[in-house]
């Protein structure tokens, strides 16, 4: 094997120029030139190379065959130069990473290894190469200045990337963060309620989907409310479908029927009219599937005040009701449209040919 001394010198010079170029680009030219270890390493290799050819006094000798062992030794010397520079460059990179870590690391925060004992495994986030972006730094749990504990990714001192936050109140916030704000994830409250995006699952099994003003509320028994909300309550126009098939459509005030609405019961009874605190109250119409119908005043869920009652045989009663019963005198229109005046006792109309029996007090008189 033939090897040119001039080629070897050029190769060594190229290595030095390469070191200087890379160092200059990395901003470490002054550090490398002042590195005694690296300079000593390069000088030693140059001396070894010169010693290898000090007895070659003419150009012809430079072209003589060099045995494999000598050539390999020279090559190992060149690799040693490369290795020395690589170690130095790695040290410089570690310093850069350390400085970057100081920037990314949360300020005034202390390590909190007990975090792992404070939070259930089911709420932990599994970090892996697919979910953690390389540009983010993941750190062990830190206790922040306000007492909260955070484990996850940081960038420039802010929660950024996947992470989990345990607040002093006991609330757990986990997911994808951006500039200290939760971008996508879920919140687990101390009482067991869970919020994921615009879906809120209560500890009692109720699920709410929507925003502060409008949404859908699903109950464990299958009941569903769709409509307006205010301060977390059903408030405004809405519809409530019960698990038994009953449906209310109308006004709500703080979760109760109040205002005007229609309730269709599962047994086909229908009320349409005014409501107050969840009860029929005011003017309304109540219909039965057998043809009966009451139209008039209601008070706290009962017929109360002037009203008209129609029966399935087409007869009608017009009069006064009290606590759901007919009272006083009233007009009776029979199925043949004949009008009669009748007395009412205990909610029942009396035959005009018969007088009511005397009371016990009258008998004693």
**Mean pLDDT, range 72-80, rounded to an integer:** 54
The total number of structural domains in the chain stands at 3
Same domain, 129 and 153: yes
> pLDDT at position 162, please?
84
Percent of the chain with pLDDT over 70: 55
130 and 99 co-located in one domain: no
Q: 96 and 12, same structural domain?
A: yes
The residue with greater pLDDT, 106 or 3, is: 106
Residues 67 and 128 in one domain: no
Residues 120 and 93 both lie in one domain: no
Percent of the chain whose pLDDT exceeds 90: 37
Q: What is the pLDDT of residues 212-270, one digit of tens each?
A: 999 999 999 999 999 999 999 999 999 999 999 999 999 999 999 999 999 999 999 99
Structure tokens at 297: 């005043």
On the question of pLDDT at 288 being above 90, the answer is yes
Residue 351 has pLDDT above 50, yes or no: no
- Establish if 138 belongs to a structural domain: yes
331 has which bridge partners? 318, 341
Q: Compare 50 and 300 and report the one with higher pLDDT.
A: 300
Q: Are residues 83 and 119 in the same domain?
A: no
pLDDT bucket at 207, cuts 50 / 70 / 90: very high
Query: 310 pLDDT exceeds 50?
Result: yes
172 confidence band (pLDDT: 50, 70, 90): very high
Judge contact between 190 and 170, C-beta under 8 A: yes
Distance CA 251, CA 190 (A): 33
Answer yes or no: are the C-beta atoms of 270 and 250 closer than 8 Å: no
Instruction: Give yes or no: residues 75 and 23 share one domain.
Output: yes
Residue 65 lies inside a defined structural domain of this protein: yes
Residue 15 has pLDDT above 60, yes or no: no
Residue 132 lies inside a defined structural domain of this protein: yes
- Same domain as 47, residue 63: yes
Same domain, 48 and 24: yes
Shared domain check, 84 and 26: yes
Whether pTM exceeds 0.75: no
> Could you give the CA distance from residue 59 to residue 191 in angstroms, rounded to a whole number?
90
User: Considering the chain, what is the average pLDDT of its residues?
Assistant: 73
pLDDT for 152 equals 82
Quick one: pLDDT band at residue 21, thresholds 50, 70, 90? very low
Domain that holds residue 33: 5-103
User: 30 versus 134: which is more confidently predicted?
Assistant: 134
Range scoring the smallest mean pLDDT among 23-32, 106-115, 147-156: 23-32
143 and 164 share one domain: yes
Find, among 173, 136, 186, 185, the residue nearest to 157 by Cα.
136
Contact 123, 174 (CB under 8 A): yes
Between 255-259, 322-326, 342-346, the lowest mean confidence (pLDDT) is in 342-346
User: Lowest mean pLDDT: which of 113-117, 230-234, 243-247, 320-324?
Assistant: 113-117
User: What is the rounded average pLDDT of the residues 109-131?
Assistant: 57
Q: Give the C-alpha separation, 324 to 309, whole Å.
A: 11
Within a domain: 205: no
- Residue 22 predicted with pLDDT over 50: no
In a domain, 337, yes or no: yes
State the Cα–Cα distance between residues 163 and 124, nearest whole angstrom: 9
Question: Is the Cβ–Cβ distance between 333 and 339 less than 8 Å?
Answer: yes
Domain-ending residue, one of 73, 103, 133: 103
Is the pLDDT confidence value at 124 over 70?
A: no
- Which range scores top for mean pLDDT: 8-12, 125-129, 178-182, 307-311? 307-311
Residue 226 lies in a domain: no
Distance CA 342, CA 334 (A): 12
Least confident of 61-70, 188-197, 210-219: 61-70
**126 & 39 share domain:** no
Six-digit token string for 59: 């150009």
Q: Are 345 and 325 in contact (CB under 8 A)?
A: no
341 located within any domain: yes
Looking at 103, 137, 155, which one is the last position of a domain?
Answer: 103
Residues in CB range of 308: below 8 A, 6 or more apart = 294, 295, 296, 316, 317, 318
Question: Is 179 inside a domain boundary?
Answer: yes
Residue 182 or residue 21, greater confidence: 182
* Interval 148-164: pLDDT, tens: 988 888 887 788 888 88
Which of the listed residues 171, 194, 217 is the one where a domain comes to its end? 194
């Amino acid at each position: 094997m033939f090897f040119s001394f001039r080629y070897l010198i050029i190769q060594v010079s190229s290595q030095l120029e390469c070191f200087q170029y890379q160092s200059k680009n990395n901003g470490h030219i002054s550090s490398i030139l002042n590195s005694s270890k690296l300079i000593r390493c390069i000088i030693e290799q140059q001396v070894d190379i010169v010693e290898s050819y000090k007895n070659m006094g003419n150009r012809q000798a430079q072209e003589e065959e060099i045995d494999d062992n000598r050539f390999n030794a020279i090559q190992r010397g060149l690799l040693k130069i490369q290795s020395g520079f690589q170690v130095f460059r790695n040290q410089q990179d570690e310093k850069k990473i350390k400085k970057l870590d100081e920037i990314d690391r949360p300020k005034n925060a202390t390590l909190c290894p007990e975090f792992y004992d404070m939070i259930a495994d089911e709420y932990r986030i599994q970090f892996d190469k697919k979910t953690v972006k390389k540009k983010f730094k993941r750190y062990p749990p830190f206790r922040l200045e306000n007492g909260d504990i955070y484990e996850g990714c940081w960038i420039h001192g802010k929660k950024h990337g996947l992470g989990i936050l345990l607040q002093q109140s006991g609330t757990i916030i986990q997911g994808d963060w951006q500039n200290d704000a939760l971008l996508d994830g879920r919140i687990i409250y101390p009482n067991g309620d869970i919020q994921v995006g615009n879906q809120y699952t209560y500890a009692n099994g109720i699920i709410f989907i929507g925003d502060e003003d409008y949404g859908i509320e699903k109950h464990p028994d299958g009941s569903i409310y769709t409509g307006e909300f205010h301060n977390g309550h059903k408030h405004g126009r809405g519809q409530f479908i019960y698990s038994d098939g009953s449906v209310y459509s109308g006004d709500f005030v703080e979760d109760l029927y109040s205002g005007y609405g229609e309730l269709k019961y599962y047994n086909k009874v229908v009320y349409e009219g005014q409501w107050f605190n969840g009860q029929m109250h005011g003017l309304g119409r109540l219909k039965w599937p057998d043809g009966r119908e009451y139209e008039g005043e209601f008070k706290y869920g009962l017929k109360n005040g002037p009203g008209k009652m129609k029966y399935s045989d087409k007869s009608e009663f017009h009069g006064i009701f009290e606590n759901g019963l007919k009272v006083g005198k009233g007009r009776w229109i029979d199925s043949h449209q004949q009008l009669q005046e009748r007395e009412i006792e205990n909610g029942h109309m009396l035959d005009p040919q018969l007088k009511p029996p005397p009371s016990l007090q009258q008998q004693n008189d």
